[in-house]
Amino acid sequence: MKWGIKNKVIVLITAVLLMSVGVLSIVISNKVQLQTRSLHYQILEETAYRYGKSVENVLAKIMEDAKLMEIAFVQMMKSGTHRSVLDSMLIRTAKNDDQLLGTWMLWEPNAYDRQDKRYVNTEGHGSTGRVNSYWHWEGDSLINEPNIDWESSTWYNVPRERMKGTLLDPYWYTVSGEPTLLLSAIQPIIFEDEFLGVVGVDIELNNLQNFVNKLKVEDVGYTALLANDGTYVAYPQQEKIGKKISSEENEKELYEHLKNGKYYSKVIQNDKILGEEGHLISIPIKVLNTETPWAFVVVIPTSKIIAESKVIRNWILLLGGIFGCLTVLLLAILVSRQIAPIVSLTNRLTEIVTDDRTEIPLLELKKQTGEVGQLVKAYNELASRLHINKVKLLGLNEELEDRINKRTLQLESALKDLERFSYSISHDLRAPLRHINGFSKLLNGVIESDQEKAKYYSDKVIEASDKMRHMIDDLLKFSRLGRRALVLEEVDLNKLIDQVIKSFETEIEGRIIIWEVETLPTILADFSLMEMVFQNILSNAIKYTSKCEEAKIHIGVKGESEDVIFVKDNGVGFDMRYIDKLFGVFQRLHREEDFSGVGIGLANVKQIVTKHEGEIWAEAEVNEGATFYLKLNCKE
């Protein structure tokens, strides 16, 4: 299939347009996608921070419990309050905050009331007699089970070293026969920069776990809580609870950030919980002035994040596509309008080239402006010029053909004349020769016997030789006439005819000839040759009317066209059957005895008229006279 310029342009524009619209749409949609994603992250982060804050509040609360007790304890120590009040304080705290599993304290030896010795192995005291109550819930009852083995324990050593509130790492403890993950918030008891002991509270991490597990992230995500040492406090999978974070690459990184209290964000290729790609955000949780930040982790599937942006991107692509299509349609219409004249121009030009017509169609000039308009205008100009030229050319062709035809006819007639001429020469010139020969022989036979006859034959010989001389002279004249160049001038036929008629004066003496000469035109001709023409024609008229009593010779102009002149006589005329012999050389329509003459006069006339590009013809009837017509070039 051949593609027209229109289709090509439309396809080209469509391609370019679709490409740019496509690229633009993709760029915009990607941008939007990114924007949407980052917005999503923001929301996700905010959510994570908020949830993290909630966890922090829980942890801060227990830290506060411990701190409040420490402050109270120091006051009580300074005021010398009985050590049993400390227990009351622990009990009240344990009862006031229902998330607490237990409250406890451990004072340095004789640090509170210097009465340790008194309490050795008494109720609520160990063998040291130190203040070391541990109140905890057993079912519905709160029981004091004094602390033991504290020298090497973290809950005692860590706060002592740090000299500030400490959140211990989660640990397993058997509560009511069940292993339970616990967390302790411990406050060192400090008075005048001196470490006097610790006071702490325990909570069951189940509660925190349940709280965290209830937090939903966008319906599809999950949450987790990690303690400072990387222990899972909350996680969708129960078996991980209480266990430390694994040493896998991902988790190791997370642990590093968590330990240092840093924000962490990571795309997890194949999240085990989600079963697909997920986005993890880890928010540090710093509880009061502790140096052991925890981490709240949220993970949501990437698909969720990008789903929305995908919707937006799809909308953009759809709108881009529709816009692109509409634009292409509009462009196609505009382009076809612009190109239509070019297409029809092309068709027209092809037609002109392939089709040899005279008619060259013009193009309608609509509202095209600019180059196309100019093109159409130029084409129309060219087409009309071409049309004119073609018409001219055709005219010229016709004229040329006419001329060729005319010339051919002239040539043919000249050739015919030449044929007749040579025929006549061979035929007619022999006659006198034959006569000379014949009569000479007859003369020979009688030269001695019959003087009279001898004289007769010798006269015949002379006569024949004279005739031959005449014929030869006439032929010479005829052929000279043919070669002679025309000297054209204005010839007044009236004057010429007058002159010719006058030249016959002596010849026609005694005869009655009635001349009727009309006003004749002035023609463009060779004067002396034209004189010869009329001399011959008028001489014939005079000759062939010689047997009339009253000869009438009429010279006039035929009809309205001034260029046809006729010479009409009332003489013997001739038979129209022999018309083709009339203008031949040595052709005679009459016997020599009746009318003398060599028979070359009208041949000469015809030759002259033909040379003048004129025509000559005749009409006649036997004994009814003859009319000769001459068509000559009149002066314009």
Partner 1 sequence: MRSLQPILYAEDDANDRELTLAALKEANISNRIEVVCDGQEALDFLNYEGHFADRRKENPVLILLDIKMPRLDGLQVLEEIKKHEELSKIPVVMLTSSSMETDLIKSYEMGANSFVVKPVDFEEFYDAVKKLGIYWALLNKTV
- Applying CB under 8 A, the residues found at the interface with partner 1 are 423, 426-428, 430-431, 433-435, 437-439, 441-442, 460, 464, 575, 577-578, 581, 587-593
> Nearest approach, Cβ of 596 to partner 1 (angstroms)?
12
Which lies closer to partner 1 via its Cβ, residue 220 or residue 431? Answer: 431
Query: What is the chain's Cα-based Rg?
Result: 73
Q: Can you tell me which residue has the tokens 């007699």?
A: 129
> Nearest approach, Cβ of 454 to partner 1 (angstroms)?
14
> Nearest approach, Cβ of 463 to partner 1 (angstroms)?
8
> Nearest approach, Cβ of 416 to partner 1 (angstroms)?
13
> Nearest approach, Cβ of 419 to partner 1 (angstroms)?
10
Which lies closer to partner 1 via its Cβ, residue 244 or residue 581? Answer: 581
Query: Half-sphere exposure of 141 toward its Cβ, with a 13 Å CA cutoff?
Result: 3
Q: Can you tell me which residue has the tokens 């129209």?
A: 576
Pairing, β 513-517 against β 551-557: parallel
Which lies closer to partner 1 via its Cβ, residue 441 or residue 477? Answer: 441
Q: Could you give the C-alpha distances from 551 to 511, 515, 516, in angstroms and in order?
A: 8, 8, 11
User: Which 3 state secondary structure label does DSSP give 622?
Assistant: coil
> Nearest approach, Cβ of 452 to partner 1 (angstroms)?
15
CA distance 106 to 150: 9
Which lies closer to partner 1 via its Cβ, residue 67 or residue 606? Answer: 606
CA distance 19 to 8: 16
Which lies closer to partner 1 via its Cβ, residue 484 or residue 581? Answer: 581
Which lies closer to partner 1 via its Cβ, residue 439 or residue 534? Answer: 439
In 355-450, which residue ranges form alpha helices assigned H by DSSP?
370-428, 430-446
User: Which 3 state secondary structure label does DSSP give 465?
Assistant: helix
Burial bucket for residue 223 (CB in 10 Å: 0-12, 13-18, 19+): buried
CA distance 45 to 36: 14
> Nearest approach, Cβ of 448 to partner 1 (angstroms)?
18
User: Which 3 state secondary structure label does DSSP give 385?
Assistant: helix
Specify the DSSP element, H or E, that contains 71: helix 5-79
Which lies closer to partner 1 via its Cβ, residue 258 or residue 436? Answer: 436
Pairing, β 513-517 against β 522-526: unpaired
Which lies closer to partner 1 via its Cβ, residue 364 or residue 419? Answer: 419
> Nearest approach, Cβ of 604 to partner 1 (angstroms)?
18
Which lies closer to partner 1 via its Cβ, residue 339 or residue 582? Answer: 582
> Nearest approach, Cβ of 466 to partner 1 (angstroms)?
12
- Say if CB 72 and CB 103 are below 8 A apart: no
CA distance 228 to 259: 6
Residue environment code for 381-418, b if the CB has 16+ CB neighbours within 10 A, otherwise e: eebeeebeebeeeeeeeeeeeeeeeeeeeeeeeeeebe
